[in-house]
Structure 1
Amino acid sequence: MIDPQHALDAFARRDRTMDGRFVVGVTTTGIYCKPSCPARRPRPENVTLHENAAAAQAAGLRPCLRCRPDELGRDREAVTEALSLLGAEPGLRLAALAQAVGYAPHHFQRLFKREVGLSPAAYVRQQRKARIGGALDNAGSVTEAIYDAGYSAPGQFYAESGEVLGMIPSAWRKGGEGVDIHWAVAATTLGPMLLAATERGICRLSFNEDVEVLRARFPNAVLTEGGALVQRLIGAAVAACDDPAAMPDLPLDVSGTAFQQAVWQALRRIPVGETRSYAEIAAQVGRPGAVRAAGSANGANNVAVLIPCHRVIRSDGTLGGYAYGLEIKQRLLDKERRKTSG
């Protein structure tokens, strides 16, 4: 049972999110209601709180005919059944799902969201998101991993890549056509850092570059120096460069093939202070023979540090390559090792 005052406050404001947590008895009418009941509120002295419908009925109360609190149990059973159906067949549409459990679609959408916190479609996407990491680790290929995670096709994985990796394909296809990109250069312990961002997230983080490099990459975008968008991001980005062990959760707006995205996700799973070889990354994404392709995907990373491509080295232990010079790569690795060892 929740705190009585909290329950009474929820009843007073007709809080739908509290339906199913308790019921409210009205001694003057002999009924009990859901917290969200639309009926006029009784005087406080005529209100009793009960853990559930069974407790209210044991106290001699009958269910309200307006809010029908006795149907809550059936609602919850229907949502539980729907979750089971979605687990077996994630592609079920709302109409078919609602029909299977005996509800109208618009009504069941509200019930499902009340119980689960997400719509059925959002719940399915969340489940795919949770599975894709393990699938990429265990499957024999990227394509196999995509199907194992519940995607109907590689194109669906790519379309939802923003939800899977925090990366949304956008400006990259047409040189930034129709996109506003704000940028700034800031000092870090690794040298001048260029940060550029769309409204969706950071699309470029690099060292020792200026706006001309950005203009060459996004010739059709509108480039604007500074602004509130960049100011919200640049402090955390500088902190990440100065202390890559304390990686902030920053929004990214980058695009790549399914294979590139799989590689980038593998990079983000390398623990701070550790390294992996290009061969290990290729094997991790299910393509052990694609060592060169893994190296190319590593080099295609447009957001240094935030996707930690500096943690990938050659099998013989040498640093390999780095777009911004091996000195910066070594300093990043040294910073992380000192942090984890100290």
Structure 2
Amino acid sequence: MTTATLHSYDVEAAARDYPRVTEALNYLGDRWQEHPDLAEAARAAGLSPHHFQRVFTRWVGVSPKRYVGALAHGAARDAIDDGASVLDAAFEAGLSGPGRLHDLFIAHEAITPGDAKRKGEGLEFTWGVAPTPFGDGVFLIAPRGLSALAFTDGRSETGFEDLHARYPAASYLRDDHEARAWATRIFERAGERIPLALYGTQWQRQVWRALLSIPPGATTTYKAIAEQVCTAKASRAVGAAVGANPVSFLIPCHRVLASDGRLTGYHWGVERKRAMLTWEAAG
């Protein structure tokens, strides 16, 4: 399993830094559209830029610049989803133009603003339904590999709707024979490398890579994954990225448990999660 060297941040230090970090969060929350520089944010917290950068990053889990970028990206994404042009979305994010918005989207989502606005337009997928050890699987296949695997309890349309919502403007061709071929590769040919064509934010793909490091038969926790990719404080953000995992079973979000060991929060049902873990343990 991939390991990470973790920094220590005890409760007393976190409590001591809390008032200054709160001031900084309030300041950045009110002024993020102005994209304040490090010196401005540090003055609001009453710290030197170097000390502020260290304290903020340690407490929040990301740098002040990255935090502001996330707020700007979220506002621009909402504007695009509401039908705004790329130029208007750039202004909504407090940016000078589409060029800077392009850089922001590549950094946070690994796609361009135009790609986001097109909602999958230009992408061509094959999809189909095939039996798996865990009920019918709905497979979404891109030219470069498998993009999604969902599960359904006898209603293939429900599984397809879940996948279609990710890329509503893409083209889809149903081919159950192709889906059966992928099911055979995944569930009957042990050890075969399965090509994945993933579309997600940089953060999501970082979490998904961490999931891939969990070996079959093992489990971990959301907190442990958060510590591996950045800091334990990011457990909630990790949970959201785990929940957005498009390729069930292969990207093994079913191996992530609550801190107390409970089987919680599996999109395709806790019963299916338990069955997957039992099947792997028996293998």
Q: Deviations over 1:120-166 (max 9, x none)?
A: xxxxxxxxxxxxx97x834768989xxxxxxxxxx7xx78x9xxxxx
Indicate which of 156, 164, 183 corresponds to 1:234: 183
Structure 1 residues 229, 207: closer, same or farther in 2, change over 3 A? closer
- 1-structure distance, mates of 2:208, 2:4: 13
- Aligned residue for 1:217, secondary structure, equals coil
What is the aligned-residue identity percentage? 36
Q: Which residue of 2 aligns with 1:223?
A: 172
- 1-structure distance, mates of 2:242, 2:163: 19
- Aligned residue for 1:289, secondary structure, equals helix
- 1-structure distance, mates of 2:164, 2:212: 28
Is the 8 Å Cα contact of residues 151 and 268 (structure 2) preserved in structure 1? yes
Task: Look up the equivalent residue of 1:310 and give its one-letter code.
Answer: H
- 1-structure distance, mates of 2:266, 2:176: 30
Task: Look up the equivalent residue of 2:144 and give its one-letter code.
Answer: R
Whichever structure has more helix as a proportion of its residues is: 2
Structure 1 residues 280, 324: closer, same or farther in 2, change over 3 A? same
Task: Look up the equivalent residue of 1:202 and give its one-letter code.
Answer: L
Which aligned pairs between 1:133-212 and structure 2 lie closer than 5 A?
137-138=4-5, 173=116, 174-208=118-152, 209-212=158-161
Q: Which residue of 2 aligns with 1:36?
A: none
Max Rg structure? 1
Is the 8 Å Cα contact of residues 181 and 221 (structure 1) preserved in structure 2? yes
Is the 8 Å Cα contact of residues 220 and 257 (structure 2) preserved in structure 1? yes
Q: CA deviation at 1:237?
A: 2.9
Task: Look up the equivalent residue of 2:219 and give its one-letter code.
Answer: T
Is the 8 Å Cα contact of residues 172 and 218 (structure 1) preserved in structure 2? no
Q: Which residue of 2 aligns with 1:287?
A: 231
Is the 8 Å Cα contact of residues 192 and 207 (structure 1) preserved in structure 2? yes
Q: CA deviation at 1:283?
A: 0.6
Task: Look up the equivalent residue of 1:235 and give its one-letter code.
Answer: T
- 1-structure distance, mates of 2:115, 2:169: 10
Q: Deviations over 1:293-332 (max 9, x none)?
A: 1111110100001100000000101011100000000000
- 2-structure distance, mates of 1:205, 1:184: 10
- 2-structure distance, mates of 1:335, 1:279: 25
Is the 8 Å Cα contact of residues 150 and 159 (structure 2) preserved in structure 1? no
Task: Look up the equivalent residue of 1:181 and give its one-letter code.
Answer: F
Is the 8 Å Cα contact of residues 130 and 179 (structure 2) preserved in structure 1? no
Indicate which of 276, 279, 283 corresponds to 1:332: 276
Q: CA deviation at 1:201?
A: 1.3
Indicate which of 253, 260, 265 corresponds to 2:197: 253
Structure 1 residues 259, 216: closer, same or farther in 2, change over 3 A? closer
Is the 8 Å Cα contact of residues 203 and 303 (structure 1) preserved in structure 2? yes
Is the 8 Å Cα contact of residues 268 and 307 (structure 1) preserved in structure 2? yes
Q: CA deviation at 1:253?
A: 1.3
Task: Look up the equivalent residue of 1:251 and give its one-letter code.
Answer: P
Unaligned runs of 5+ in 1: 1-132, 145-154, 162-167, 241-245
Q: Deviations over 1:189-224 (max 9, x none)?
A: 211100011101111101004433333332211110
- 2-structure distance, mates of 1:191, 1:229: 17
Is the 8 Å Cα contact of residues 125 and 173 (structure 2) preserved in structure 1? yes
Structure 1 residues 200, 139: closer, same or farther in 2, change over 3 A? farther
Is the 8 Å Cα contact of residues 199 and 229 (structure 1) preserved in structure 2? no
- 2-structure distance, mates of 1:230, 1:192: 11
Tell me which of the two structures has the higher relative contact order, counting C-alpha pairs closer than 8 angstroms and 6 or more residues apart: 2
- 2-structure distance, mates of 1:327, 1:214: 21
- Aligned residue for 1:235, secondary structure, equals helix
Q: What is the Cα-based RMSD across aligned positions, in Å?
A: 3.3
Q: CA deviation at 1:258?
A: 2.5
Q: How many residues align?
A: 183
Q: Which residue of 2 aligns with 1:213?
A: 162
- 1-structure distance, mates of 2:131, 2:115: 27
Structure 1 residues 230, 190: closer, same or farther in 2, change over 3 A? closer
Unaligned runs of 5+ in 2: 8-56, 64-102, 153-157
- 2-structure distance, mates of 1:172, 1:233: 27
Q: CA deviation at 1:255?
A: 2.2
Is the 8 Å Cα contact of residues 172 and 254 (structure 1) preserved in structure 2? no
Q: Deviations over 1:9-46 (max 9, x none)?
A: xxxxxxxxxxxxxxxxxxxxxxxxxxxxxxxxxxxxxx
- 2-structure distance, mates of 1:289, 1:325: 26
- 2-structure distance, mates of 1:201, 1:271: 22
- 2-structure distance, mates of 1:222, 1:324: 25
User: Could you tell me the TM-score, scaled by structure 2's length?
Assistant: 0.56
